[in-house]
């Protein structure tokens, strides 16, 4: 297969907006290096895992992985808390629950095989008062039904034995919850993919799909610079931009991706012994997001967070990140307006906490009393791609989409429009599901 410079991608060709795409296809159709059986768009952890799974299953196929940034795992996959989740929270029998439990097992086997550093530091879900105990017991029941291994209920004394600095009336202990750098894992997936003959393209921001007159490679994928690849079949796993890419092939706007920024605090290194395990609250069903928690990281730092505030653009990692077009689209979406009205009080409090660090610390002091404002400093942030329906419902299940009515393009492109948390933990299991779905859908 053809070679491709990962840091400075080769430009296939450049053309003006008035160029006839079919003429371009005829002129360059003899170049076999630009034609692929499958092109996977999106170099996050789900796209990379899926490309790896596809090349493992179908080594005879030519497969490419394209990513718009200059490195893989640039966004969600490289900007998260790094937790390996056990599968406690999810409704028994759901796809999320099954994929998380299987994904955890596959992840640990993969990390061991590749020698990637991780830690099974465990997780405590802590009831801070008696009112939270019924919800904690419900989580325990869910976890048992989901097949979470060695899940244990702890009383207050047993909780202290696991985590001396943590207080609560009761807790769930999940010893197989761990931490890892999911960005490193993503890059390992890409290395596997390339070693099996796959081609990876960086700096390839897809801007258009068009149909060629080739029966074998009917989909032309064009990036923002005018570079081109051709494909028999396409899989998109575009995270924050999944709705935008889906609409390029005629799919509907919904589900819409609404970006929520999650900001973390670092615990200063002189307090690095404050916690050894993940410490999570019992989820409050009145609010749409999980809440602030304590997470040790594989780099040795401890983070507290995240909050959840609307980002002013899809890649809005700071308050100063602003895109008027994207913000107009967000605010113009009826689902977002309904959700914002429903949770107006929650959203306002989150914005205030973003500005005032002591208010963030107060949330975690319910569990760790001896953590003070002086012990923390501002840390990293990530942006969550929250899929949302027109009625304002947060979509927590997987969404796949095609548009066969739009001709060869729509019938040859499968969009993974939502791969919800815990997508990183579940990535290898999700990849299995996607590979099955592609084979069933495209019959290759």
Domains and CATH numbers, the chain: 21-76+183-253+397-442 (3.50.50.60), 256-394 (3.30.9)
Q: How far apart are the C-alpha atoms of 262 and 243, rounded to whole Å?
A: 21
Model confidence over 104-156: pLDDT tens digits? Answer: 999 999 999 999 999 999 999 999 999 999 999 999 999 999 999 999 999 99
pLDDT of residue 319 exceeding 80, the answer is yes
Q: Report pLDDT for 260.
A: 96
pLDDT of residue 33 exceeding 90, the answer is no
Mean pLDDT value of segment 378-394: 95
Distances (CA, A) of 299 to 39, 147, 197: 34, 30, 32
Q: How far apart are the C-alpha atoms of 146 and 143, rounded to whole Å?
A: 5
pLDDT of residue 436 exceeding 60, the answer is yes
Q: Is the pTM of this model over 0.95?
A: no
pLDDT of residue 164 exceeding 50, the answer is yes
Do 9 and 227 touch, CB atoms closer than 8 A?
yes
Q: How far apart are the C-alpha atoms of 113 and 106, rounded to whole Å?
A: 11
Q: How far apart are the C-alpha atoms of 211 and 217, rounded to whole Å?
A: 9
Look up residue 426 and give its two tokens: 């579940």
Q: How far apart are the C-alpha atoms of 406 and 73, rounded to whole Å?
A: 31
Do 28 and 35 touch, CB atoms closer than 8 A?
no
pLDDT of residue 160 exceeding 60, the answer is yes
95-114 and 133-146 helices cross at what angle (nearest 10)? Answer: 70
pLDDT of residue 300 exceeding 90, the answer is yes
Q: Counting beta carbons within 10 angstroms of the beta carbon of residue 283, is it exposed (0 to 12), middle (13 to 18) or buried (19 or more)?
A: middle
Check the CA dihedral 97-52-205-415 and report its sign: negative
Q: Report pLDDT for 291.
A: 81
Q: How far apart are the C-alpha atoms of 67 and 72, rounded to whole Å?
A: 7
Mean pLDDT value of segment 10-31: 34
Q: Report pLDDT for 408.
A: 78
């Amino acid at each position: 297969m053809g070679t491709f410079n990962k840091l400075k991608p080769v430009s296939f060709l450049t053309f003006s907006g008035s160029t006839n795409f079919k003429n371009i296809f005829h002129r360059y159709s003899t170049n076999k290096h630009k034609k692929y059986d499958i092109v996977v768009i999106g170099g996050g952890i789900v796209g990379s895992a899926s490309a790896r799974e596809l090349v493992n299953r179908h080594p005879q196929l030519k497969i490419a992985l394209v990513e718009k940034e200059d490195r893989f795992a640039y966004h969600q996959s490289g900007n998260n808390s790094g937790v390996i989740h056990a599968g406690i929270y999810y409704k028994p029998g759901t796809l999320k629950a099954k994929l998380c439990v299987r994904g955890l097992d596959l992840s640990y086997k993969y990390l061991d095989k590749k020698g990637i550093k991780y830690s099974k530091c465990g997780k405590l879900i802590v009831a801070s008062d008696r009112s939270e105990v019924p919800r904690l017991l419900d989580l325990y029941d869910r976890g048992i039904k989901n097949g979470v291994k060695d899940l244990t209920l702890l009383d207050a004394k047993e909780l202290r034995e696991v985590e001396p600095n943590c207080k609560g009336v009761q807790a769930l202990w999940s010893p197989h919850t761990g931490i890892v750098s999911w960005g490193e894992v993503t890059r390992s997936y890409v290395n596997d993919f390339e070693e099996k003959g796959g081609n990876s393209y960086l700096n390839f921001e897809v801007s258009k799909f068009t149909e060629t007159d080739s029966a074998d490679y009917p989909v032309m994928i064009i990036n923002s610079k005018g570079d081109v690849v051709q494909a028999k079949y396409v899989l998109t796993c575009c995270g924050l931009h999944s709705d935008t890419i889906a609409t390029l092939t005629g799919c509907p706007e919904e589900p819409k991706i609404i970006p929520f920024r999650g900001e973390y605090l670092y615990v200063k290194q002189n307090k690095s012994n404050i916690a050894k395990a993940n410490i999570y609250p019992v989820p409050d069903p009145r609010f749409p997001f999980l809440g602030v928690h304590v997470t040790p990281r594989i780099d040795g730092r401890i983070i507290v967070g995240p909050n959840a505030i609307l980002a002013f653009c899809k890649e809005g990692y700071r308050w100063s990140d602003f895109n008027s077009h994207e913000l107009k689209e967000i605010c113009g979406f009826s689902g977002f307006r309904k959700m914002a009205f429903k949770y107006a009080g929650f959203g306002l409090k989150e914005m205030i906490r973003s500005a005032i660090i002591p208010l963030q610390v107060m949330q975690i002091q319910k569990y760790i009393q001896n953590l003070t404002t002086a012990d923390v400093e501002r840390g990293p942030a990530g942006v969550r791609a929250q899929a949302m329906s027109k009625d304002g419902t947060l979509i927590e299940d997987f969404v796949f989409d095609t548009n066969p009515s739009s001709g060869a393009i729509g019938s040859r492109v499968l969009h993974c429009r939502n791969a919800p948390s815990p997508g990183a933990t579940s990535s290898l299991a999700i990849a299995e599901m996607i590979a099955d779905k592609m084979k069933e859908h495209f019959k290759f």
